[in-house]
Homo-oligomer: A and B are copies of this chain.
Amino acid sequence: MLKFDRAEFIEKEKTALGMIPQVEKIVDEVCQKGYSNIFYVGIGGTVTYAWQVESIAKSNSTLKLYVENAADFLAMGNKNFNKDSIMVIESASGDTKEVVAAVEYAHTQGVKVIGFIEKPDSPLAKMVDYLITNDGGTYYYWYAVTLRFMYNNGEFPEYDEFMAELKNMPEALADVQEKNDEKAKAYAERYKDEPLQYLMGSGNLWGWAYCYAMCIMEEMQWMRTKSISAADFFHGTLEVIERDSVVVLFKGEDNGRKLMDRAENFLHTICNNVIVFDTKDFELKGISPKFRGLVSPFVMNAACRRVSVHLENERKHPLEIRRYYRRLNY
């Protein structure tokens, strides 16, 4: 299988699982000290990961949680941000300029920052008050932070049970990639040169649809996309879909699924290129049925890794290339 080393993948995921007890310790300490509200702050991909767990919190929690795009937050402010707020960030590079500025701003307000920073010697790793560092494992971080805050708020009583099952995720996600490889390859072969593709998600996968369109297809493949939520689709975007349009659906198993079903049924009546990636197609050994909706972002992310690998190969466009980002100033 192209660019896939099962053992290496599983090893890396297992190491990422090791972050969870560290996150728990930090969140417990923050909760013990007390806080007024929680700000998840990111930009580009990182804010879309925060949206995915925000969706989970919104349905299941009364946490005072705000998700902010770092640049918007800095420019516009949020009046609910105060000295007792806690900020939560994530950065792979550790030097994303808008996030660096947001952390600097938080510190001027006396706000403490929890950060998952992949590069331990980067500016952000040195700046945050509570550092988690690891090579990869974003979802483990965001889930542990969110669910632990909820648990400490008297919500999500299945916390321990869920975290025990999460130990099965590395193997399950390796299976997902193997299972989705052929479909991902067929998709990439057929649609690699489309002038425009629509990506749709709902619930905890709306953030992923937005992210995959913007951070992978636009940024790393220079493919034109529009992401649209299954809810909004019927209020404008449907009118531009024609027989030969290309619409990719990311279907998960949370309560947003019914919105995707509705869109999928409709699309089949007007469009011949409806591609469905569905978390239901994967077994997820060791994950209880009741948690499948909750973990849909983990699953879809793994499924899409194969799409990325095949798009990269079919388009002969390595994912690392950028035309402008970090080349031109802005």
Interface residues of A (CB under 8 A from B): 43-45, 47, 55, 58-62, 69-72, 75-80, 98, 195-196, 202-203, 206, 213-215, 218-220, 222-226, 229-232, 234-240, 254-256, 258-259, 262-263, 265-266, 269-270, 322-325, 328, 330
In-complex Cβ contact of A235 among B45, B76, B254, B265 (8 A): B45
**Given known A43-B232, A237-B214, contact A330–B262 (CB-CB < 8 A):** yes
Kindly report how many copies of this chain are found in the complex they form together.
2
Task: Contact check, A75 vs B195: say whether CB atoms are below 8 A apart.
Answer: no
Residues of B within 8 A of A229 (CB): 69, 72
Known contacts A76-B55, A229-B72, A224 near B196 by CB under 8 Å? yes
> Contact at B256–A72, with CB atoms within 8 Å?
yes
A267 CB to nearest B CB, Å: 10
Smallest CB separation, A232 vs chain B (Å): 6
User: In the bound complex, what is the Cα–Cα distance between A156 and B58 (angstroms)?
Assistant: 29
In the bound complex, do residue A236 and residue B219 qualify as a contact, i.e. CB atoms below 8 Å apart?
yes
Closest chain-B Cβ to A106's Cβ sits at a distance in Å of 17
CB distance from A330 to the nearest CB of B (A): 5
Which of these, B58, B80, B214, B222, contacts A62 with CB under 8 Å? B80
* Contact of A236 with B259 in the complex, beta carbons under 8 Å: no
B266/A330 in contact, CB under 8 A: yes
Given pairs A44-B235, A47-B232, 19 additional interface contacts (CB within 8 A): A43-B232, A45-B235, A55-B76, A58-B76, A59-B77, A61-B79, A71-B230, A72-B203, A75-B231, A75-B258, A77-B255, A214-B232, A218-B237, A219-B236, A235-B325, A238-B330, A239-B322, A239-B324, A265-B330
A203 and B76 contacting across the interface, CB-CB below 8 Å: yes
Which residues of chain B are near A220, meaning CB under 8 Å?
Answer: 239
How many angstroms between the C-alpha atoms of A79 and B63 in the bound complex? 9
Q: Which of A44, A71, A78, A98 has the most CB of B within 10 A?
A: A71
CB distance from A68 to the nearest CB of B (A): 9
Complex Cα distance, B219 from A252, in Å, reads 27
Contact status of A215 and B235, CB under 8 A, knowing A60-B79, A258-B75: yes
Q: Judging by beta carbons under 8 Å apart, are A226 and B226 in contact?
A: yes
A72 and B226 contact, CB distance less than 8 A: no
Q: Which residues of B contact A237 (CB under 8 A)?
A: 214, 218-219
**Min C-beta distance of A143 to chain B, whole Å:** 17
A44-B232, A60-B79 in contact; A238/B325 too (CB < 8 A)? Answer: yes
A224 to nearest B CB, angstroms?
A: 5
Q: Which of B195, B240, B323 contacts A222 (CB 8 A)?
A: B240
Shortest Cβ distance from A228 into chain B, in angstroms?
8
Shortest C-beta distance, A234 to chain B (Å), equals 5
For the complex of A and B, list the 4 residue pairs with the smallest distance between their C-beta atoms, beginning with the closest.
Answer: A44-B235, A214-B236, A71-B231, A219-B236
Across the interface, which residues of B come within 8 angstroms of A45, CB to CB?
Answer: 235-236
Contacts A43-B231, A79-B60 known; A239 to B266 CB distance under 8 Å?
no
Residues of B within 8 A of A265 (CB): 330
Q: A69-B229, A218-B240 are in contact. Are A270 and B234 (CB under 8 A)?
A: no
Instruction: Give chain B nearest CB distance to A198 CB in angstroms.
Output: 10
